[in-house]
């Protein structure tokens, strides 16, 4: 499929096809193509066709069908969908069927969007390659021997493959931007609190975001505009007003915009990926932007800080999976002399969590334990505040920052799976923005050895409009 949100809207208005017809096309194409990538964990044709039929009914009655009318949309399988399995790509939730929809899903369907399926991801969104899924890895449509990035690799892959027009992912430390870069699509991580987390299965609650993937900036802006806004069901959602992100993209001139280039990021950038980033910077200069160096002095502490905070929060959040209330329960009762309750907990969690999830639970439990909390977790929170202050200071002199998304393009399946530290370092450019809670996005900017490369754009809190303005100008120039 090569449809965009705009092309579907125009075709429905001109009656070239119906919402049901485009939905059937999307479902059929996804079913045919999915064996290549393993990007979908499940399709939901009944729900999709019912939603499409409602769009057609509204249009026939002359009613407003919504900004996403008839658009086939995929949803990462850590976002709840009522009556449709949400597994988090884990054995733990292999058969879990949620009793309610996430707020983001509700708002999409209210705007006429058609949810066609749930996408594969790293288990509980923990990973940078999408190789940690209980249901097998996702393969990158740009090169099937390569990873699509993680943890939202399935959501990036379905958009790159064309089996969905847009999709939803989640981002904790780069899980939207890095897959977008690896797959050659647009991926947006909004300001923390801009999109409700109600119905997003928690990994690290102070870092988790929901955001869109699309094949162009305008579609990503449209989808974010539908989802964004305060939600009384999420106490961390922001009450800030939501502008119409997509309305004025074509009317904004970026001449004179001040763009910061973080020197701490660029000192690690080498090879063709760095060449593409510098070419993108030259393009921004040619567009009339004022590009200048800026410093984010606490960047070198970001990886360690992130992996203390996110694992601590993961350890706390995943304690609820105990085999008692929902999810997998081990059939192994333990030894005759064992504590039966403890044996049930141990066997349930041991059998149903994958290696990476166990690793992060153990790391998080350690840094929260007595005698280590102050040395690790509390210190990490203090450094997080310093990293956020670096961005605050930078945005006093520039309108936006640009940087690489990843030090390298998509790596081969299996290349880093046995080297967790190397895998963690693939997020070196994305983690800082996540720790600061600012809006960031990846926009395609060329290739490295034939593989997609993304340019990262970062702006101050709630300045998504400015971020989209720069991204759209770069994309269309």
Which residues contact residue 300 at a Cβ distance below 8 angstroms, ignoring those fewer than 6 apart?
264
* Catalytic residue list contains 82: no
Q: Which one is catalytic: 170, 175, 237, 442?
A: 175
Rounded CA gap, 232 and 100, in Å?
A: 15
Q: Phi/psi of residue 210, each to 5°?
A: -110, 135
* Catalytic residue list contains 76: yes
**Residue 314 exposure: Cα atoms within 13 Å on the Cβ side:** 26
Six token digits for residue 456: 């990262």
DSSP state letters, 434-461: HHHT--EEEEEEEEETTEEEEEEEE-ST
Rounded CA gap, 348 and 338, in Å?
A: 15
CA atoms 282, 283, 285, 289: torsion sign: negative
Rounded CA gap, 199 and 391, in Å?
A: 30
* Catalytic residue list contains 151: yes
Closest alpha carbon to 207 in 452, 466, 430, 441: 430
CA atoms 176, 200, 91, 26: torsion sign: negative
The DSSP bridge partners found for residue 378 are none
Question: What are the start-end ranges of the H helices in 320-409?
Answer: 340-352, 355-368, 379-394
Six token digits for residue 140: 């990158």
Is residue 298 within 8 A of residue 331, CB to CB? The reply is: no
Closest alpha carbon to 160 in 69, 36, 281, 327: 36
Six token digits for residue 109: 């369907």
Q: Which one is catalytic: 18, 76, 90, 352?
A: 76
Q: Which one is catalytic: 128, 133, 151, 152?
A: 151
Task: Name the residues annotated as catalytic.
Answer: 76, 151, 175
């Amino acid at each position: 499929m090569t449809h965009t949100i705009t092309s579907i809207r125009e075709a429905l208005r001109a009656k070239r096809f119906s919402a049901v017809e485009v939905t059937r096309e999307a479902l059929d194409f996804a079913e045919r193509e999915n064996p290549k990538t393993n990007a979908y964990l499940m399709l939901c044709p009944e729900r999709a066709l019912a939603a499409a039929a409602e769009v057609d009914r509204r249009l026939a009655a002359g009613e407003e069908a919504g900004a996403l009318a008839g658009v086939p949309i995929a949803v990462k399988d850590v976002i709840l969908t009522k009556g449709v399995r949400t597994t988090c790509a884990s054995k733990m939730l292999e058969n879990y069927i949620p009793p309610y929809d996430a707020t983001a899903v509700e708002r999409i369907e209210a705007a006429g969007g058609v949810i066609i399926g749930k996408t594969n991801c790293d288990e509980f969104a923990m990973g940078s390659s999408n190789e940690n899924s209980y249901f097998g890895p996702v393969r990158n449509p740009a090169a099937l021997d390569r990873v699509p990035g993680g943890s939202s690799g399935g959501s990036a892959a379905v958009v790159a493959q064309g089996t969905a027009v847009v999709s939803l992912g989640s981002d904790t430390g780069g899980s939207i931007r890095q897959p977008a870069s690896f797959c050659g699509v647009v991926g947006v991580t909004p300001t923390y609190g801009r999109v409700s987390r109600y119905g997003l299965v928690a990994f690290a609650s102070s870092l988790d975001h929901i955001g869109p993937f699309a094949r162009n900036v305008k579609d990503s802006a449209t989808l974010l505009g539908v989802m964004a806004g305060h939600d009384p069901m999420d106490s961390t959602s922001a009450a800030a007003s939501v502008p119409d992100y997509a309305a004025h993209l074509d009317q904004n001139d970026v001449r004179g915009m001040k763009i910061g280039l973080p020197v701490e990021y660029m000192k690690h950038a080498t090879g063709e990926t760095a060449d593409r980033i510098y070419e993108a910077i030259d393009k921004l200069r040619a567009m009339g932007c004022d590009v200048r160096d800026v410093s984010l002095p606490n960047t070198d502490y970001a990886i360690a800080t992130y992996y203390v905070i996110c694992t601590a929060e993961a350890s706390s959040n995943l304690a609820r999976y105990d085999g008692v209330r929902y999810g997998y329960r081990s059939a192994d009762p333990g030894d005759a002399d064992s504590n039966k309750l403890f044996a049930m907990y141990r066997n349930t969690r041991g059998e149903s969590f994958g290696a990476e999830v166990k690793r992060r639970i153990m790391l998080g439990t350690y840094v929260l334990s007595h005698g280590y909390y102050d040395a690790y977790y509390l210190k990490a929170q203090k450094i997080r505040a310093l990293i956020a202050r670096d961005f605050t200071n930078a945005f006093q002199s520039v309108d936006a920052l640009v940087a690489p998304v990843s030090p390298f393009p998509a790596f081969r399946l299996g290349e880093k799976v046995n080297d967790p530290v190397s895998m963690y370092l693939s997020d070196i450019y994305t983690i800082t923005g996540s720790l600061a809670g600012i809006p960031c996005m990846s926009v395609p900017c060329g290739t490295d050895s034939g593989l997609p490369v993304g340019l990262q754009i970062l702006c101050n809190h709630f300045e998504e409009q400015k971020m989209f303005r720069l991204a759209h100008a770069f994309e269309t120039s």
